[in-house]
A and B are shown apart, each in its own frame.
Chain A
């Protein structure tokens, strides 16, 4: 008897494939949902059943609570795993799943709502003794009150919309002169994006690092942390490279940070897997940023060093089982890095670059894991997140993990869709990265301008011409490859068109 009769995965792309994999391993039958744009996607193929839930537009498919629930009812699913993004942090969705008599694999609706409000969560954390930045999180939002509070906090400071995320509406204000304009702009953007223009003020920290604590809570009183991750390599508030452990922390700091993460989860009344994000200042102090009430994109680095399957733990907790793991059972070994492969063009201001995958080769080897939603022939559309796949490298130490990552990136091939692969290579090869000198402005400081792409070297041009069949005669050169339809086709004849 499996843990659940059937699990519906309310997501797409690499995370849907990843969740389906653990369900399969656990013997749980699965249901995928898909939009019209994803009819032939990999996550559809890897599920036992698949249900069409609407057009490409996410609002009418992956973001539609009604359609996802209808698919769950229609297939007799017992539980719903939301992945990340889409409906994963929607309190309304979590409640609707429960009201339908199904199990939501994640915390209940009120926890999502509590932690989704920056002002309320900041107040909650401060009351629980979790460090927060000097700031203002009150309900009174009159301009004069905010200006008075801003003076108290001091310059430079940050204005953040109380709702939402992803950097939308955030403003750095260097001095009082720019405050009113920045406040107006921030409110305007917040109102447009989140339908609410309340803001929080916080002291601005120069060259901060982003660190976060993975927690797991069973709702029965046991809360453990699975260590921290550092995610300082970002582009426009979007994480690009993550790792664990953080090279910035000594054992005492790490322990203090992870204890704060557990305290935050307890204060939130947390259940299931969650992540508490902190800002780490150059002076070594850390402050609560926000809590992500879902599985995190970068969870594989934690899995790699802790030897755990977080999705399995999520499913067990959701099924009502107590955590079998005590804090002292969590043993972390070695170092892990993750690089996010995005369909974005670093040569052109990181514009998303849709297209069809013409050719694909993913790396493998000791310590290498690839979480991917890609196939040859897959259409990368503009409708969804540009994340294509995640390359994870584990090593006995940070140095070995970096070496393995470099080789893995050299062995990663995606043709037909422009990706950020060249930037990922530049990051992991940069001396400052190797030295562990990270901060959230790393890419802007070191790599905002990638050197223009040169032309291929002469050997490559010669090999291309040979492969395309412009040599005079003969079969393949060098040793024969294993017999398959391709070797009989012959290297020279490839591309011989007319």
Chain B
């Protein structure tokens, strides 16, 4: 994947190998392990140290905290995928949480601003609303599902 940080773009390739992650970042190889720790939180072991990593997605922007320092990256997608990424009718989870309710079904006509589903995070309910008038093309989650930031939830045509 390609991650943009300011004017720089990093080509990052990762693969799983024997319980660890093997990665190439800008041509350099490295190895680490990654353990999920809580919603949006991981412990990353780089050999010498255990480093906390926290992540949250807001559309294409990836907010992260690495070793106590906050950064924002943008995910660069190529060609056709970029087009779907920019789809203004796609609704993504803005934060880690649990789907508390799904108010719509595929084929249903919705108006801009209409409540499509409710995501609960830390006991707080957040209504996610239709970004525009249209017809629900797909619903990817059901009530009770845990979702990570950036997960596609509903698509509206």
The segment from A165-173, A328-336, A451-459 that touches chain B is A451-459
Query: How many Å lie between the Cα of A127 and that of B154 in the bound state?
Result: 71
Q: Are B34 and A476 in contact (CB under 8 A)?
A: yes
Query: How many Å lie between the Cα of A460 and that of B4 in the bound state?
Result: 13
Residue B32, interface by CB 8 Å? yes
Q: Which residues of B contact A460 (CB under 8 A)?
A: 44, 51, 53, 64, 66-67, 71
Which of B25, B38, B52 is close to A461, meaning CB atoms less than 8 Å apart?
B25
Q: Are A377 and B122 in contact (CB under 8 A)?
A: yes
Which of A377, A455, A472, A486 is close to B15, meaning CB atoms less than 8 Å apart?
A472
Q: Are A375 and B124 in contact (CB under 8 A)?
A: yes
Q: Are A467 and B42 in contact (CB under 8 A)?
A: yes
Residue A40, interface by CB 8 Å? yes
Q: Which residues of B contact A497 (CB under 8 A)?
A: 92, 150-152
Residue A239, interface by CB 8 Å? no
Give the total of A residues in contact with B, Cβ under 8 Å: 63
Q: Which residues of B contact A490 (CB under 8 A)?
A: 36
Residue B14, interface by CB 8 Å? yes
Tally of A-B residue pairs with Cβ under 8 A? 218
Q: Are A465 and B34 in contact (CB under 8 A)?
A: no
Q: Are A491 and B42 in contact (CB under 8 A)?
A: yes
Query: How many Å lie between the Cα of A493 and that of B21 in the bound state?
Result: 14
Residue B6, interface by CB 8 Å? yes
Q: Which residue of B lies closest to A496 (CB)?
A: B151
Q: For chain A residues 431-485, which have a beta carbon within 8 Å of chain B? A: 453, 455-468, 470-474, 476-481, 485
Residue B46, interface by CB 8 Å? yes
Q: Which residue of A lies closest to B45 (CB)?
A: A478
Residue B111, interface by CB 8 Å? no
Residue A361, interface by CB 8 Å? yes
Residue A358, interface by CB 8 Å? yes
Residue A70, interface by CB 8 Å? no
Q: Are B41 and A376 in contact (CB under 8 A)?
A: no
Of B21, B39, B95, most buried by chain A (CB within 10 Å of CB) is B21
Residue B108, interface by CB 8 Å? no
Q: Are B54 and A361 in contact (CB under 8 A)?
A: yes
Query: How many Å lie between the Cα of A466 and that of B151 in the bound state?
Result: 15
Q: Which residue of A lies closest to B152 (CB)?
A: A497
Q: Which residues of A contact B62 (CB under 8 A)?
A: 464, 468
Q: Which residue of B lies closest to A406 (CB)?
A: B68
Q: Which residue of B lies closest to A479 (CB)?
A: B35
Q: Are A410 and B148 in contact (CB under 8 A)?
A: no
Q: Are B53 and A463 in contact (CB under 8 A)?
A: yes
Which of A415, A461, A498 is close to B54, meaning CB atoms less than 8 Å apart?
A415
Residue B40, interface by CB 8 Å? yes
Query: How many Å lie between the Cα of A452 and that of B4 in the bound state?
Result: 16
Q: Are B21 and A463 in contact (CB under 8 A)?
A: yes
Q: Which residues of A contact B46 (CB under 8 A)?
A: 459
CB proximity of B155 to chain A, nearest CB, Å: 9
Annotate A375-386 by CB proximity to B: 1 below 8 A, 0 otherwise: 111100000000
Q: Which residue of B lies closest to A457 (CB)?
A: B66
Residue A356, interface by CB 8 Å? yes
Q: Are A463 and B84 in contact (CB under 8 A)?
A: no
Residue A487, interface by CB 8 Å? yes
Q: Are A478 and B66 in contact (CB under 8 A)?
A: no
Q: Which residue of A lies closest to B46 (CB)?
A: A459
Q: Are B58 and A467 in contact (CB under 8 A)?
A: no
Residue A494, interface by CB 8 Å? yes
Q: Which residues of B contact A430 (CB under 8 A)?
A: none
Assuming the A-B contacts A411-B68, A474-B16, A489-B146, are A376 and B122 also in contact, with contact meaning beta carbons closer than 8 angstroms in the complex?
A: yes
CB proximity of B68 to chain A, nearest CB, Å: 3
Assuming the A-B contacts A361-B41, A415-B54, are A465 and B71 also in contact, with contact meaning beta carbons closer than 8 angstroms in the complex?
A: no
CB proximity of B66 to chain A, nearest CB, Å: 4
Residue A492, interface by CB 8 Å? yes
Q: Which residues of A contact B67 (CB under 8 A)?
A: 410, 460
Residue A359, interface by CB 8 Å? yes
Assuming the A-B contacts A377-B95, A467-B34, are A455 and B71 also in contact, with contact meaning beta carbons closer than 8 angstroms in the complex?
A: yes
CB proximity of B19 to chain A, nearest CB, Å: 5
Given pairs A359-B65, A465-B1, 15 additional interface contacts (CB within 8 A): A356-B94, A359-B63, A361-B54, A376-B95, A413-B70, A456-B69, A458-B28, A459-B46, A463-B42, A463-B66, A465-B13, A494-B55, A495-B149, A495-B151, A497-B151
Can you give 29 A-B contacts (C-beta < 8 A)? A40-B124, A356-B95, A358-B58, A359-B63, A360-B122, A375-B124, A377-B126, A415-B40, A415-B54, A415-B70, A421-B70, A458-B23, A459-B32, A459-B44, A460-B51, A461-B10, A461-B73, A462-B30, A463-B42, A464-B3, A471-B21, A472-B15, A486-B36, A486-B146, A487-B36, A491-B42, A493-B148, A494-B148, A495-B149
A residues with a Cβ closer than 8 A to B are 40, 45, 356, 358-361, 375-378, 409-416, 418-419, 421-422, 425, 453, 455-468, 470-474, 476-481, 485-487, 489-498
B residues with a Cβ closer than 8 A to A are 1, 3, 5-6, 8, 10, 12-16, 19-21, 23, 25-26, 28, 30, 32-42, 44-46, 51-58, 62-71, 73, 75, 84, 92, 94-98, 121-124, 126, 146, 148-152
